[in-house]
Structure 1
Amino acid sequence: MSVFNLTDSITCHAWNRDRSKVAICPNTNEIWIYSNCQAVDVAQWRKEAVLTEHDMVVSGLDWSPVHDMLVSCSHDRSAFVWKYEPSERKWKPSLVVLRITRAAMTVKWSPNGASSLSPFIFPHV
């Protein structure tokens, strides 16, 4: 058995609907997106993007169950919906206004994949 180390620690992660991609947060404000994740050999995974819009540690990630879009939230009290633009070959963020006074700890898409999302906060953070 071999071990492949993506990073020392992971704050959160999420797989897309067909498990061909995974998004991870390496305990920073970055989100790393890996593709080719259906390969058994993790060494064949490819880091496709590093997303850096958040100012503090990313604490929640979730892929849309319907579309190839990712939502992220952070201790900076912001959330972004990320959509891949094939023509530009890059992930584009859209800021989601949360109107919260504490860190967003996790976020989830609605089961039908609608653009509505629910951030969760904890009062003692």
Structure 2
Amino acid sequence: MKSIILDNGIKVQYLNRPELSLFTLNLFLLKGAVYDPPNKEGVAHFVEHILMKGPKYFKSSIEFSQFLENRGIEFDGHTTPDYICLNIKCHQSEAYKATKLMIDMLTEPSIRPTDISNEKK
């Protein structure tokens, strides 16, 4: 496993296992639950779920899920007290697309009112 900390403080870990044809990318946002504002517990977890809806160029989270499924890309996330982690696993042939998706989810997140209302429930 290799780690890189970007200039903006984002820690990226990646694993390249050519013998398995597997590409895995973990991205850690160092803003976990302990950074939630007082009386606003759950903000970090909410952000994780909104980011997992995909980048804004997908019309819906369902379209995003179908895109991932059609390419065999597994996407997951979790929130801890210290960080939000987003994880992508795929065949190496999809590594570029998977990495671009991860970057786009952070820089161009889809923030649809329906997704927000569904996550608040």
TM exceeding 0.5: no
Which structure has the highest strand share of the two?
1
Larger RCO: 1 or 2 (CA < 8 Å, sep 6+): 2
TM-score, with length taken from structure 2: 0.26
